[in-house]
Amino acid sequence: MRTPHLFLVPALLCSLAACTPVQTSINEQNQNPLTASRYGDELADTMANFIISDDPIVKDPATLKLIESEIARGKDIGTSAREIVGDGLLGGIISIKADVMGYALLADNVLYLSSDFISDPGASLHVYLTTVVDPRDVSFPDETAIDLGSLQATYGPQQYDVPVQDDPNAIRSFVLYDTKLKIIYGFAQISKSA
């Protein structure tokens, strides 16, 4: 089980190494439908809580109008993102040889990992898609496996371009595979939402 303070380690190491973290805007982050869905819902909830709790800021009509506008914007962002998610192939990631968690979404030739994605580091972690339902049942990587490249980050949302497929619905699994150790860290069976 991870402890919250461990999430500070990458930032601390970065500051010690004098590196500049990659900064992305909220709009850029919301290009990932899994992130946008979460963001939109949380924006609407945060704004609604000002009204529900009868916060003094809602006494000002201009501020109340702004809050109501932000609630509507949050709902729109969340609804639009959920439509993309609903049209894509989605699955929850399960751990095999290491701690991995989050969600994988294949939509419009892009693989998205959710904002709550976490993976233990590895020697050479690569992101794969395959038509195999359970990659533990075959000698992985199998002949249908598509290597999308190295894992971009062990924490947080990310996206990978997927080569155009004759039948994208034939893809059944996202696999996080260490190409040097030859082990599956985790995978997600992805499918249309019911």
Is 131 part of any domain?
yes
In angstroms, the CA 84 to CA 82 distance is 5
Is beta strand 183-189 parallel, antiparallel or unpaired with respect to 94-95? antiparallel
184 and 109 in a common domain:
yes
Helix, strand, coil % (nearest 5) of the chain?
Answer: 40, 25, 35
pLDDT for 23 equals: 60
73 and 43 inside one domain: yes
Which of 150, 159, 153 lies closest to 177 in space, CA to CA?
150
How high is the pLDDT of residue 24? 72
User: Based on the domain organization, do 33 and 112 belong to the same domain?
Assistant: no
Whether 110 and 164 share a structural domain: yes
135 with 45, same domain: the answer is no
Q: Report the distance separating Cα 118 and Cα 136, nearest Å.
A: 21
Same domain, 141 and 163: yes
Which of residues 50, 70, 87 is at a domain's end? Answer: 87
- Our count of domains for the chain comes to 2
Q: What is the pLDDT of residue 3?
A: 42
Residue 177 shares a structural domain with residue 106:
yes
* Angle at the Cα of 98 from the Cα atoms of 176 and 155, rounded to 5 degrees: 65
Under a CB-based contact definition with an 8 Å cutoff, are residues 147 and 162 in contact? Answer: no
Minimal CA–CA distance to 85: which of 104, 72, 66, 99?
A: 104
Say if 107 falls within a structural domain.
yes
pLDDT tens sequence for the chain (194 residues):
444 444 444 444 444 334 444 567 888 889 999 999 999 999 999 999 999 999 999 999 999 999 999 999 999 999 999 999 999 999 999 999 999 999 999 999 999 999 999 999 999 999 999 999 999 999 999 999 999 999 999 999 999 999 998 888 899 999 999 999 999 999 999 999 76
Look at residue 18 in the predicted model and tell me its pLDDT.
42
Residues 78 and 106 in one domain: no
pLDDT reported for residue 166: 87
Q: Helix 61-87 to helix 33-52 angle, to the nearest 10 degrees? A: 150
Note down the domain range covering 180: 89-189
- Asked if residue 139 lies in contact with residue 59, where contact means CB atoms within 8 angstroms, the answer is no
